[in-house]
């Protein structure tokens, strides 16, 4: 097929323009008071889950491991960020940025600490170790009331998670992981999923790349945790139960393991649907697990690779294709 | 330099006697539980030599490759790459020290494109770090461009340069074997190990492959050690051959020596006799 090739700088320009337009539009709509409080919270929550899903997709989809402790990294970041924000050491956007960075870095450190031993194991064992980690984190938080508020929860967290803050984080997260995956480092991560022995025989340090995937994934999970805290205003250890890890994994699997676009769409659908439905019918939440199971069965029957497969969407590709069609149309016209 | 050279282990005693061998094994051996898969394996491969490893099924040839590339740890003996002891090396370090291989049961990155497979081989040739990648620094663009040009060149050895965007798993069997060779070459080795490169190829593909192997040796000036059951290929291009049976070297020498060696003939015929008897019962 003839491609209407767009030069790289132009492509980057188009994408940058679309992103800025999206952020501005969203900012104006949410600030303009066009939406209710519940809707604003929902939009923020969707952003948080996009970050969680896209970051989990790195080890689960691209690296091909099965971590079940994403909620643990999220919890670490949430409490780290919230405690910093509550301390009031800084003010304004400086405080927001530093709090998010602290959340990410602390979670990434946990990612390395868990990743180094866990990644020596394979398959089921890695799943079990990370699952255990998530639960241990929750129990620790529960038992440190002087720092974390314990089971009572951590209250009066400054509500820093505005549309602007959350969606800038969404964009940074997606961009960083996209740029990473389209580099030699990303190819190394994919090749580990495809064949580990062959990757090693190409002289690639597989342990390093596994731990790196874990650390980057945990970093963004930590940031998502802090944004979650800044959205809710209150944190309870039970926010970060095993079910949270499963919720996130569900999004990634349904969207398509190894597809960033799938994770994004999955997060939008699976986060907003239950919240919208809840307004319609009280108590739908208790059927959530059944709905998940049914959804999963349906998707696995009709599209085992998830909604998007490994397909990744790019606006400039759409423009290129459209341009190609236009060019072809013109050529045909000329020939006739 | 003669201290590096042991005429008892050399496949080609008269050649390259003044050079450090690119690879040398001394009494290498490995046991799997009670089974001694390889024992007392001695071999010296000279730079730019094409050497062959032959033997009946289950003789231990692939196991030797796994020892050389550190997939298995040897139970006994030592191995040297360019005079360096590889005792403490991992598979990764062994590749960096100059050993690259293909696999008997093809291990391509199937869901990745042909180009990406070669670029994974070129991983260590690129020098930009994570930050360069995320910010798309000039270093990134430069390294990626050079690597893609290099991959293109390497693919053109087998006339595969136009298949770059195809999925590796969608290639026909013969091309998958060729792509594995390209990926191995991309890691810039000084010795290339090929495990049954002609398996599943028809006679015309096999004779092309023979030319390609010689071409690769001449262009890259590297040593090639290959396992192969196709005797035309082995006798046609190998300068030195070692015959393995039950994990031990039973004969060593030039193709002529090997073809006329009664021990070798017995090993192969003996196997056939065994098989025939097995069928009769
Ligand atoms: N990981 C392992 N564990 C146990 N036994 C093994 C292992 N790898 C190889 N073996 C045994 O070692 C012996 C040699 O096997 P190897 O694969 O090296 O044979 P080969 O010469 O490559 O045969 P072929 O020509 O069929 O490929 C066989 O008996 C095999 O069962
Ligand atoms: Mg074999």
How many domains would you assign to chain B? 2
Do residues B182 and B193 both lie within one domain?
no
Tell me what ipTM this predicted complex has.
Answer: 0.88
**Does A331 reside within a domain?**
no
User: How much distance in Å is there from the Cα of B105 to the middle of ligand 1?
Assistant: 13
The secondary structure of residue B113, as a DSSP letter, is B
**Does B221 reside within a domain?**
yes
A39-94 residue pLDDT tens: 888 899 999 999 999 999 999 999 998 889 999 999 999 999 999 999 888 878 88
Range of the domain at B38: 2-98+189-280
A247-267 residue pLDDT tens: 999 899 988 888 899 999 999
**Does A257 reside within a domain?**
yes
Atom of ligand 1 nearest to the CA of B66: 18
A207 inside 8 A of chain B by CB? no
Whole-number pLDDT of residue B4: 45
Do residues B150 and B38 both lie within one domain?
no
Mean pLDDT by 10-residue block, N- to C-terminus, for chain B (281 residues)? 47 54 92 93 92 93 96 94 92 96 96 96 95 94 95 95 95 95 96 95 94 94 95 94 93 90 79 57 47
Residues of B in contact with A205 (CB under 8 A): 92
Do residues B266 and B200 both lie within one domain?
yes
Do residues B156 and B205 both lie within one domain?
no
How many domains would you assign to chain A? 1
User: How much distance in Å is there from the Cα of B58 to the middle of ligand 2?
Assistant: 7
Range of the domain at A28: 8-326
**A188 with B117: CB under 8 angstroms?**
no
CATH of the domain at B18: 3.40.50.300
Whole-number pLDDT of residue A312: 62
**Does A301 reside within a domain?**
yes
Whole-number pLDDT of residue A89: 85
Q: What are the two backbone dihedrals, phi and then psi, of residue A285, each rounded to the nearest 5 degrees? A: -55, -35
**A219 with A104: CB under 8 angstroms?**
yes
Contact B134 A202 (CB under 8 A): no
| Ligand (nearest to CA of B53) | 1
Query: Is B60's C-beta closer than 6 angstroms to any atom of ligand 1?
Result: yes
Cα separation, A256 vs B86, in Å, equals 43
Size of interface A-B (CB pairs under 8 A): 92
Q: Which residue has the tokens 């097995």?
A: B278
Whole-number pLDDT of residue B18: 56
| Closest listed residue to residue B10, CA positions, set B29, B32, B25 | B25
> Cβ neighbours of residue B107 under 8 Å, at least 6 residues apart?
A195, A197, A198, B180
**Does A146 reside within a domain?**
yes
The average confidence (pLDDT) of chain A is 86
DSSP result, B187-238: T--SEEEEESTTTT--HHHHHHHHHHHHHHHHHH--EEEEE-S-HHHHHHH-
Q: How far is CA B42 from the centre of its chain?
A: 17
Do residues B123 and B258 both lie within one domain?
no
Atom 16 of ligand 1, residue of closest alpha carbon: B60
Closest-CA residue of chain B to A8: B141
**Does A40 reside within a domain?**
yes
Nearest CA-CA distance, residue A195 and chain B, Å: 6
**Does B103 reside within a domain?**
no
CATH of the domain at A61: 1.10.3470
Residues of A in contact with B91 (CB under 8 A): 197, 200-201
Q: Which residue has the tokens 């009331």?
A: A145
Do residues B82 and B197 both lie within one domain?
yes
**Does B264 reside within a domain?**
yes
Nearest CA-CA distance, residue B214 and chain A, Å: 22
Whole-number pLDDT of residue B1: 36
* Coil/strand/helix, residue B80: strand
Do residues B112 and B169 both lie within one domain?
yes
Query: Is B62's C-beta closer than 6 angstroms to any atom of ligand 1?
Result: yes
Q: Which of A183, A201, A204 sits opposite B101 (nearest CB)?
A: A201
Residues of A in contact with B95 (CB under 8 A): 200-203
> Cβ neighbours of residue A61 under 8 Å, at least 6 residues apart?
A252, A256, A257, A258, A259, A263, A310
Pairing of strands B23-32, B76-81: antiparallel
In the structure, ligand 2 is a single-atom ion and the residues with CB under 5 Å from it are B 62, 104
Q: Is A319's pLDDT higher than 80?
A: no
Whole-number pLDDT of residue A320: 65
Cα separation, A41 vs B210, in Å, equals 67
**Token pair of B236, please?**
């046609």
**Does B43 reside within a domain?**
yes
Do residues B7 and B89 both lie within one domain?
yes
Whole-number pLDDT of residue A36: 80
User: How much distance in Å is there from the Cα of B33 to the middle of ligand 2?
Assistant: 19
């Amino acid at each position: 097929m003839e491609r209407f090739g767009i030069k790289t700088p132009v492509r980057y320009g188009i994408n940058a323009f679309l992103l800025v337009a999206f952020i501005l539009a969203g900012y104006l709509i949410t600030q303009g008071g066009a939406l209710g409080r519940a809707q604003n919270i929902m939009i923020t929550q969707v952003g948080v889950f996009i970050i969680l899903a896209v970051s989990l997709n790195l080890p689960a989809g691209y690296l091909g491991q099965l971590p079940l402790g994403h909620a643990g990294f999220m919890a670490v970041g949430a409490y780290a960020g919230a405690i910093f924000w509550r301390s009031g050491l800084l003010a304004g956007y400086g405080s927001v940025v530093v709090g998010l960075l602290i959340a990410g870095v602390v979670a990434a450190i946990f990612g390395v600490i868990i990743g180094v031993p866990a990644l020596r194991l394979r398959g089921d064992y890695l799943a079990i170790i990370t699952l255990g980690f998530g639960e241990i984190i929750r129990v620790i938080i529960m038992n440190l009331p002087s720092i974390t508020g314990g089971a009572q929860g951590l209250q009066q967290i400054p509500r820093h998670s505005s549309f602007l803050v959350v969606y800038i984080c969404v964009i940074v997260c997606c961009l960083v992981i996209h740029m990473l995956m389209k580099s030699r480092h990303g190819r190394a991560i994919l090749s580990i999923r495809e064949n580990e022995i062959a990757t090693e025989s190409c002289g690639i340090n597989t342990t390093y790349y596994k731990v790196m995937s874990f650390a980057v994934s945990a970093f963004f999970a930590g940031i998502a945790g802090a944004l979650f805290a800044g959205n809710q205003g209150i944190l309870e250890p039970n926010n970060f139960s095993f079910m949270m890890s499963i919720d996130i994994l569900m999004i990634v699997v349904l969207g398509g393991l190894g597809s960033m676009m799938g994770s994004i769409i999955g997060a939008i659908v699976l986060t907003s649907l239950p919240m919208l439905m809840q307004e319609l019918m009280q108590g739908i939440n208790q059927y959530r697990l059944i709905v998940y199971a049914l959804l999963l069965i349906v998707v696995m029957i009709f599209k085992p690779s998830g909604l998007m497969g490994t397909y990744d969407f790019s606006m400039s590709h759409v423009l290129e294709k459209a341009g190609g069609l236009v060019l072809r149309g013109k050529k045909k016209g000329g020939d006739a | 330099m003669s201290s590096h050279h042991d005429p008892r282990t050399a496949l080609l005693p008269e050649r390259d006697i003044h050079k450090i061998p690119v690879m040398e094994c001394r009494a290498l051996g490995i046991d799997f539980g009670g089974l001694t898969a390889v024992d007392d394996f001695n071999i010296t491969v000279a730079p730019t030599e094409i050497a062959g490893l032959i033997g009946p099924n289950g003789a231990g040839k692939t196991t030797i490759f796994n020892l050389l590339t550190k997939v298995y740890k040897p139970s006994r003996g030592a191995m040297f790459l360019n005079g360096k002891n590889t005792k403490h090396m991992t598979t990764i370090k062994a590749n960096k020290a100059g050993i690259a291989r293909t696999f008997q049961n093809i291990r391509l990155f199937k869901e990745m494109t042909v180009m990406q497979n070669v670029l994974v081989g070129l991983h260590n040739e690129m020098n930009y770090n994570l930050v360069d990648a995320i910010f798309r620094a000039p270093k990134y663009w430069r390294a990626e461009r050079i690597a893609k040009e290099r991959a293109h060149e390497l693919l053109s050895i087998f006339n595969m340069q136009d298949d770059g965007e195809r999925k590796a798993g969608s290639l026909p069997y013969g091309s998958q074997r060729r792509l594995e060779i390209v990926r191995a070459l991309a890691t810039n080795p000084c010795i290339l190990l090929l495990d049954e490169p002609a398996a599943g190829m028809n006679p015309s593909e096999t004779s092309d492959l023979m030319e390609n192997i010689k071409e690769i040796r001449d262009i890259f000036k590297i040593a090639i050690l290959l396992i192969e059951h196709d005797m035309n290929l082995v006798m046609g291009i190998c300068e030195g051959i070692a015959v393995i049976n039950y994990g031990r070297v039973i004969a060593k020498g030039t193709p002529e020596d090997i073809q006329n060696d009664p021990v070798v003939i017995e090993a192969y015929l003996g196997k056939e006799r065994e098989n025939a008897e097995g069928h009769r019962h």
